């Protein structure tokens, strides 16, 4: 009788299949944990009540701008922004400056906040940064943030843009 030689365990396929079934998910888990720790994403807001109240306050600011009859004509020049702010008698008196915020829809790093100051002729002016092309959400509000108007625009635009609440 001829006996088959006994092969060592590491030359058999079944132990490797069982080891792979155990080790492969552990390797995948380590890779995913590494990726998740590098790219943290806030998916859920902890305090829904406070966020809801903040949203309602934003709506109140827009309603107040509507009550004040605020209408802003914005003229975008290559390096300068001119604002002509019109309002009714209920609105507060002249403002020394307003905050103009440009929000890019997809790239947060391009968001810009500008301070537009009043000139002698009653218009507000601010220097625009370079490369302000594309679609922007423009928000204009006074320094004390009592009211707010906003509009989505595409720059550059040769015409004056009317921004109302």
* Cα dihedral across residues 148, 152, 153, 154: positive or negative: positive
H or E, element range at 50: helix 48-67
Question: pLDDT tens, position by position, for the chain (165 residues)?
Answer: 577 888 888 889 999 999 999 999 999 999 999 988 887 665 555 565 666 666 666 788 888 888 888 888 999 888 899 998 887 767 777 778 899 999 988 888 888 999 998 888 888 999 998 888 889 899 998 888 888 898 999 888 888 888 888
| Placement of tokens 């922007």 in the chain | 136
The number of C-alpha atoms within 13 Å of 93 and in the hemisphere containing its C-beta is 0
Element (H, E) at 25: helix 13-38
CA distance 24 to 33: 14
Q: Return the CATH fold of 70-163.
A: Immunoglobulin-like (2.60.40)
Q: Where are the domains of the chain?
A: 9-38, 70-163
Q: What is the pLDDT of residues 121-136, one digit of tens each?
A: 888 999 998 888 889 8
CA–CA distances in Å: residue 35 to residues 29, 39, 47: 10, 6, 27
């Amino acid at each position: 009788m001829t006996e088959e030689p006994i092969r060592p365990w590491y030359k058999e396929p079944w132990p490797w299949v069982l080891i792979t079934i155990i080790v492969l998910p552990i390797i995948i888990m380590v890779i995913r944990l590494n990726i998740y720790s590098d790219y943290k994403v806030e998916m859920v807001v902890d305090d829904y009540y406070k966020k809801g109240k903040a949203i309602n306050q934003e709506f109140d600011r827009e309603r107040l701008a509507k009550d004040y009859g605020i209408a802003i004509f914005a003229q975008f020049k290559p390096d300068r922004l001119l604002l002509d702010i019109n309002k009714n008698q209920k609105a507060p008196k002249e403002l020394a400056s307003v905050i103009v915020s440009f929000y890019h829809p997809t790239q947060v790093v391009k968001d810009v906040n500008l301070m537009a100051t009043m000139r002698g002729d009653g218009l507000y002016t601010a220097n625009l940064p370079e490369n302000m092309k594309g679609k922007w959400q423009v928000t204009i509000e006074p320094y004390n943030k009592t009211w707010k108007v906003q509009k989505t625009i595409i720059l550059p635009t040769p015409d004056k843009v009317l921004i109302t609440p």
